[in-house]
Every structure is written in structure tokens, then in C-alpha cells.
Chain A
Amino acid sequence: MEKLTIEKIYEIAEKIGEMIERGEPPLLEYPPASTSNIEFSEHEGYKFAPKYWSKILGSHIKSVKTLAGVIFALERCLDHMKSGLTMTKRDFYYLHKVEKFKGTLFPSDQRETDTRIVLLELITGLSREMLSITSDPRGEVYGDITLVDKSGNTIKLNKVGEMGYAVPPNPEHIKFKEINVKAVLAVEKVGPAKNMIELKIPDEYNIAIAMLHGQPSRSMRRFLRMISDKGVPIAVLVDLSPWSIRIASTVIYNSIHSAHIPGLATPTAKFIGIHSSDVEEGGFFEKVSKVALEPLTEEDLKCAKDNLSIPSLMGKTWIRENKWFLEKKKKAELEIFKAMIRKSSELKDLYIRYLNMKFEEHLNLSLKE
């Protein structure tokens, strides 16, 4: 994996260096992450399919800064990799905050260097994690899964504390040793996921719980895909809100923003709830839905409107859900389970009933077996 990255960096450096020595203005071509270079399909999610290329030409005053930024970044990435170090986006930003870059590469704010990271990915065709720039390592997984991590340690994901295993920034190095779960349940919010672990649902019913912490990180998405590739069904449980259908669709289809990074979509994952039908008449939450729903805020409503133009939300289910938001102007959160119970002893049963119903419906899988 690292070899590939190093080779790629040498290749670019060699090409640019030769052009400079020949007295030829150096040229870098790359496919920009524009919508016309991105395709979407239900069974693959977002996919990068470059049709046209952008040029960074060293004879243009505006391009030369970009070119210098890219070459400098590649050099620093290589240096970090050789030292076995990773850097965060913030680290990367600080690499440029040096005296000698005053008037050249000195960034006005982090957005400037963040943009360059995306450019690096597009130019090299590698993810920033492969270039040793790590993403925010957000997300944990709890369950009966055994893996060997980068350092060679064997880890059981239900024996690493009550929060489970923190997914590393670059899960690429992970090797799965034993998977004893029949499904992974990816939950948007930590609260309900934590309750499920506390109620020993994963242990008793042989499932893993993944905590997404809102919009899932790239590393979490990559990890889910890797498990999915081992044949494990993935279920996604999120709030009933315009934002949350985006979260669910990102797990399933990847996002436009990171479309150029392969392996982040899990097209076989299923969006199991909360669905609008769950709070409608005859639904699971029917008895509390009159009082426990929240009204949509201005931002929520705008989000729902924007959803209408997102390619990954064009499927039947998504359109139906989004339409419900626009019509009812309401949302439900995963905490709604708490509105259903009188005593905490009722919660476990409630979860099991709901999950069993959903697993049967979407994964064709019985939780109780």
C-alpha cells in the first residue's frame, strides 16, 4: 500500500523535474471533482468517472502557486511516511505557517490547505490517508469481531471497553480474523447505541454496533465497506430527519465530496429506519407520534429542499421520505424510544421488537434466531 504511494510521488516529481530541466513549463493534469466527472448508480453509489481533465500550468501565475503547493505537500507527505508519522489536516495547515512562505504558500486559513488536500487526492488518485494525512478518526464498533491491526495486535471488538473499538484513520491495514456477528447495526447517535450495548443486545443477539457520530467519517465508511465485503449485512439506523437521510445515503452510496475516493460506499447496506411510516398511523411509534415529534427548523426545511437535487436521494424510498418532511414539516429522533416507555426495563424489549421487525423487513434476517 505504501509502496504504491511512494511510487506515485516519485512519478510526479520525476515528470515535473524533467520538464523544469528541459526548460518546459511544467504541467500537471488531473480530473477535477466536478459533477460531470462523477457518476451515480444505485448499485455502486457515487463513482469517479473522469471525462475531462484540468491543467495546472507552471507558466501561469495563478497555477504556479498551486503547483508549488502540491509539490511541497508531496515532499512533506513522503517525509512523514518515511518517518512512520501521520498528520492531521490541521498539522498540514501548520506545515505552511512558516516564515519562508510569507508572500507565497503562507495560508490565510485552513480552508486553503484543506482544498489542497483534496487536490492532492485528485492528482495522485490516492486518498489523503494513503498520503499520511489522516481524517478525523471518528466512530467506534462494538461486537464479536476479531481483527489484526496495523501494529500486528489481535483485537476483539467486544473486549476493548464499553465503547468498543475506535476505527483507525486508515483502516486499510486491518485484517479480519474472525467475524461472529450476523449483522452490523450502524447507529447515527451515540446515546441509543450506547444503551443497546449496555442492554447487552450485541452480545445476546450476535450483532455489532457501529457508532457513526452524525455524518460518518471516511474511516468508518471504509471500515463498514470492508466488513460488508466479508459478507456481513449492514443496517443503518438514523433519525427521521432531512439531515439523517443524507447520513444514511452517505453510508450506502458515498458522497459527491469524496466520490473520487474508491471503497467508501457500501451499496448493500440497508436503511432500516426511522422511516416516516414508523410514526404514521399503524406504525411502530404511533402512540407517541402525536406528541413526541419535533417541528422542522428553517435549516431543516432548507435541507429537505436541497435534498431534492442530490443524485443519491433520487431513489423511491428517499423521495418518499423527503416528501414527508416537506409535507409534515416534522422530524423524529432516535431518542423517541424513551418516549415509549414508562420504566427502563421496557427499553430492551422495545429495541428488540423494533430491530427484529426492521431486520426481517430489510435484511431478511431474524434477530432472535
Chain B
Amino acid sequence: MPRREEYVEISPSDFFYRNKDIAGFDNPVRATYMIVRELVENALDACDRAGRAGNIYVAFRGKGSGVFQVEVLDDGIGVPEDEIPKAFGKVLYSSKYVLRQSRGTFGLGGTMALLYGQITTHEPFEVCSSIGDGYAARYRLRIDIQNNKPIVERKQRIKVPPGATFTLVKLTFEGNYERAKGKILEYLKQTAIITPYINIVFRDPKGAIYVFPRATTKLPEEPKESKYHPYGVDVEVLKRLISETKTRNLVSFLSKSFQSMGRQTAIKVLKKARLDPEKNPRKLTDRELVKLVRALRSYDKFRAPDASCLSPVGEEALEKGIVKELRPEFVKVVQRPPSAYEGHPFIVEVGVAYGGGVPATGDIVLYRFANRIPLLYDAASDVAYKVIRKIDWSTYYVDPARTPMAVFVHICSTKIPFKTVGKEFIADKPEIAREIELGIRECARALRSYILKKIAKQRIVERYKIMRKYYEIISESLSEILGRRIDPTPVLKRIAKPAGEEVSENGEADNRENL
């Protein structure tokens, strides 16, 4: 008798429940870190959207036997009352499905954190938020895993001062704080570097308070939503654009939906694809869709993608972030001009810090950021690591084995080319690697001239010290011969040039290298 397999459909939340490791929740330590990270990132996004220098408070409380309660409070934009259940209780529900730079992409991580709490402790979670209308909505929620639906257990409206916007998420989960502590603090520190305009306060389960104060109130410019660049589309993106368009023919569709595309260009592209410009885009067959994508990608006269949808931190702000968290002796930050890989615009920001409070590890400390998120794992596989290894640092008068030195690489893009689902390291796209290298070299040149100046200054100081020793001998012997004290002070004053005066001799070294 033939047997029939049973087939069932699973919901997105069910899928992620079964594949926790994909989102990084594969063990209690990693999950503890991931929960902080995901909730803090949502809070950061909320602050950015509010357009002001925000505050974030994170607090852990131990509940015994590995159970913790974590609270994350931000004074960001807030979530509208009616969106709260879905925004927090449904996987793949988000305001982030537009083409602009943001921290997460799919609204997945935050919900994963809540889901993880629910499955480890079977406790509901709480969300309380206000968008500034004088009321806050307070929900107690669960996720219906099988149906990917929020279950509202309790809902309250609370009066709050008008204009106050905030979001508070409270969640109970089973984890391991002790072992995750290092990563969590490192994550917060690096977050403080890359978002120097946010105050972060962290309370650990023992009540210790860590404060990462803001160094500036100036926010980076909000990223603008932008149209797709023709090089960056695939059939799926094309289908979605067609489903959203109000246009009725291909020429209008192309020129309205893509950047760098006027009617003339659209006609040329369509000619290349051998498609009728007057055809209704909704009537394209799958074969024609593929033809259109190929034509879009092979047309070679498009301008580079528009980078206004990107929001780099800015040289000044990143420098402030680095200075406040590391207190280095020297820092140089460079923002590279926008560039693009495979139709995706990106901007690279690079910093080099030297000496002072930079951790002395015997090697360059690499801080990686993607869309203002610190990347803490798998550094050795990252494109930035490879670039650093390629550089001969002795050219810049530094020995990474002996001098504490840190390199910061921030990549912002509408699509960061992460190499794995874990989103911890970036693939070595040649365009990105090149921008990173140019940025690092520019910083390193500044570092070199700083070091040369320092060496020159030290030489002057050393020289003076030696001079003084010899003049002491001279003075002693002369006094002995002449029978009266010869004081060397007048001549030493004359000889001791103010430190820094001889520096120009070496200053020219800056131009030695041509890239």
C-alpha cells in the first residue's frame, strides 16, 4: 500500500523557532549577548528616527537559576499603539522594508529576542511605548509561534507627559550573563564609539552601572529613501517594484522606478532587452523579466548609485566617539567619497588611533562597523582584516607588535555584503577593499607625520638632556680651573630650542608615498 508523506506549512516564527542558530541564538551565552544587541539596535533606530541625541538605558536583573530579566528603555520615536502587537509579536513585520540604510533589515532580530525569552521561560514580555500624544500603551504580549501572530494578554493606557516619546521593552529569558558580560560590554563600548551622540547607561545583574556618555549632540544626517540603482536589482526586486508601480508602460516604469534613468536611457535599455517600450509592466512574462534584469545590469552608461540614502557617522563625530571611549594619543578619521559595488552604494569611514588608552594587545585592534553596528565576531575573515594584513606598516613608522594601535572601519550601504547569515563579517568585494585601503592609508599617513613630529620632538628633548650633561662637566672643570663658579644656565637656555622647531626637516616625508 503506497504511503503518503504528510506536508505541513510552517509559519515564519515557527521557522525561526526551529532554526535559532541562524539568528545567532544557538547557546545561552550567545543568546544573552544577542538579546542585548537586538534590543539596543532597535532602540538606536528609534532614537535616530526621532532625530535627536537620544538616551538608552539597559538593565539586567537576575531571577535565579540562569533566568534574567532585561529592560531596554529608549527615548526614541516610539511605536504607535495599534502597531505595537504586530511590530513586536510577529516575525518579519517591520517599517524597514524600504531602500535606505538602517541597522537591521527585516525586523527579525528584536522579535527573535522576544521569541527566545518566551521559549526558554514561558513568560510573556512587556512593551510600553508612547509617540508623544500624552499617552503610553502598555502591552503584555506572547507570540503564537505556529501562526506567527501576537497574543495580547493585557493592555493598558497610561498617562504620560505630552511630548514624551519612549519605548520600553521588558523581557525574561534564560541565559548566561557571566560569560556574555565581556562581549556585552565590548558591544556597548563599540556602539558608543560609532553612535557618539547617544547616552548609554547599562546596569548589570549585580547593580554595577556602566555609563557611556555622549560626546556630541550632533546627529548624522538622516538617510533618504532612494530608488533602486539598475545594477542592484534581481527578478524578485523587479517583481515587487512592478507590483507597486502605478505606471502603465515600461518606459515610464523604468524611468520612475530607478535612479539614473531618464526616458531616453529607458528606451535604450528596453531596446537592448528587445521589449516593447509601450508594454504594460504587469504583463511581462517571467522570461521577459529575466531579459529586462539582464539588460539593466549590462547597460554600461548609468551613473554611479546615489549615496544620499546612506548615513555615515561623519569624520568629526566618529573621531569624538573614538576619543571618548579609547582616549588615544593620536586619532585620524577619514570618510571616503561614496562608491558602489554591484549597484549598491556604499561609503567607507576609516579611523586610526594610536597610543594612549588604545588596548595593547601586541597587534592592531580592529573595530568593525556595518551601518553603525559593531561587528564582534569572526574578525579574521573580514575584508578589513585582510586589508590591514596587506599593509606594510613599517612604511608608516609603526610596529603594530609594539605600539598600541587601533583601526576602525565603518561601512555603510543599502546592502552590506555579509558573507554569512550570522552577519558578522563582510565579504571582500574589491570595490570595498579598495576604499578601505585608501582610507587606512590616508589615516596612516597622518599618523606617520604625527610620529615623525613626535620623534623629532623627542630628539630635541634628548639632545637637550645630553647637552646639559656635557655642560655640567664643562662647568665643573672650568670652575675648578678658574677658581670661580661658571654657571652653564645662560648658554643652556640659548641652546635649548623650543621643542618642535626642528620638525620641518622631516615634515616632507608626507609626500613620499603615492597611491
Contacts and interface: CB of A to CB of B under 8 A. Distances in A.
Interface of A: 9-10, 13-14, 16-17, 19-26, 58-59, 61, 64-65, 67-68, 71-72, 74-75, 78-79, 101, 103-105
A104 B495 contact: no
B495 A20 contact: no
Contact of A78 (B473, B481, B493, B494): B481
Nearest to A72: B477
B491 A10 contact: no
B486 interface: yes
Contacts of A20: 471, 474-475, 478, 486-488, 490-491
B473 A104 contact: yes
B501 to A, nearest CB: 13
B183 to A, nearest CB: 49
Interface in B461-499: 463, 466-467, 469-471, 473-475, 477-478, 480-482, 486-488, 490-491, 493-495
Contacts of A67: 470, 474
Given A21-B490, A25-B491, A61-B466, A68 B473 contact: yes
Contacts of A24: 491, 494
Contacts of A64: 466-467, 470-471
Contacts of B494: 23-25, 59
Given A13-B482, A25-B495, A61-B466, A71 B490 contact: no
A19 B474 CA distance: 12
Interface residues of B, number: 22
Contact of B482 (A10, A58, A61, A65): A10
Nearest to A13: B481
Nearest to A9: B481
Contacts of A19: 491
A61 B486 CA distance: 20
A23 B477 CA distance: 18
Given A10-B482, A25-B494, A68-B474, A104 B487 contact: no
25 contacts: A9-B481, A10-B482, A13-B481, A14-B482, A16-B478, A20-B471, A20-B474, A20-B478, A20-B488, A20-B491, A21-B491, A22-B490, A23-B493, A25-B491, A25-B495, A59-B495, A68-B473, A71-B481, A74-B477, A75-B480, A75-B481, A78-B481, A101-B473, A104-B470, A105-B473
A75 to B, nearest CB: 4
Q: Is the interface of A mostly helix, strand, loop or mixed?
A: helix
Contacts of A17: 478, 482, 486
A348 B301 CA distance: 115
Q: List the 7 shortest-distance A-B pairs measured between CB atoms, nearest first.
A: A23-B490, A75-B477, A68-B470, A13-B481, A68-B473, A64-B470, A17-B486
A322 B467 CA distance: 51
A23 B491 contact: yes
Q: Which of A13, A22, A59, A74 has the most CB of B within 10 A?
A: A13
A124 to B, nearest CB: 13
Given A20-B486, A21-B490, A26-B491, A103 B469 contact: yes
Nearest to A14: B482
Contacts of B474: 16, 20, 26, 58, 67-68, 71-72
Contacts of B475: 20
B217 to A, nearest CB: 50
A17 to B, nearest CB: 5
Contact of A21 (B473, B480, B486): B486
Nearest to A23: B490
Nearest to B480: A75
A282 B222 CA distance: 114
Q: Which of B466, B467, B481, B491 has the most CB of A within 10 A?
A: B481
Contacts of B478: 13, 16-17, 20, 71, 75
A21 B481 contact: no
Interface in B201-226: none
A71 B487 contact: no
B496 to A, nearest CB: 10
Nearest to A78: B481
Contacts of B477: 68, 71-72, 74-75
A22 B490 CA distance: 7
Nearest to B493: A23
Given A25-B495, A61-B467, A68-B474, 20 more contacts: A9-B481, A13-B482, A16-B474, A20-B471, A20-B478, A20-B487, A20-B488, A20-B491, A21-B486, A21-B487, A21-B490, A61-B466, A64-B471, A68-B471, A68-B477, A71-B477, A74-B481, A75-B480, A75-B481, A78-B481
Contacts of B463: 61
A62 to B, nearest CB: 10
Contacts of A78: 481
B482 A71 contact: no
A22 B488 CA distance: 10
A144 B478 CA distance: 48
A233 to B, nearest CB: 45
A104 B472 CA distance: 11
Nearest to B462: A61
Contacts of A79: 480
A26 B474 CA distance: 11
A19 B487 CA distance: 11
A21 to B, nearest CB: 6
Q: Which of A16, A17, A25, A72 has the most CB of B within 10 A?
A: A17
A349 B166 CA distance: 128
A145 to B, nearest CB: 39
B207 to A, nearest CB: 55
Contacts of B470: 64-65, 67-68, 104
Contacts of A65: 470
B291 to A, nearest CB: 77
A71 B473 contact: yes
A72 B466 contact: no
A72 B473 contact: yes
B281 to A, nearest CB: 80
Contacts of B471: 20, 58, 64, 68
A258 to B, nearest CB: 26
Contacts of B482: 10, 13-14, 17
Contacts of A21: 486-487, 490-491
Contacts of B473: 68, 71-72, 101, 104-105
B484 to A, nearest CB: 8
Given A13-B482, A16-B474, A104 B491 contact: no
A59 B360 CA distance: 39
Contacts of B495: 25, 58-59
A104 B477 CA distance: 14
A72 B480 CA distance: 10
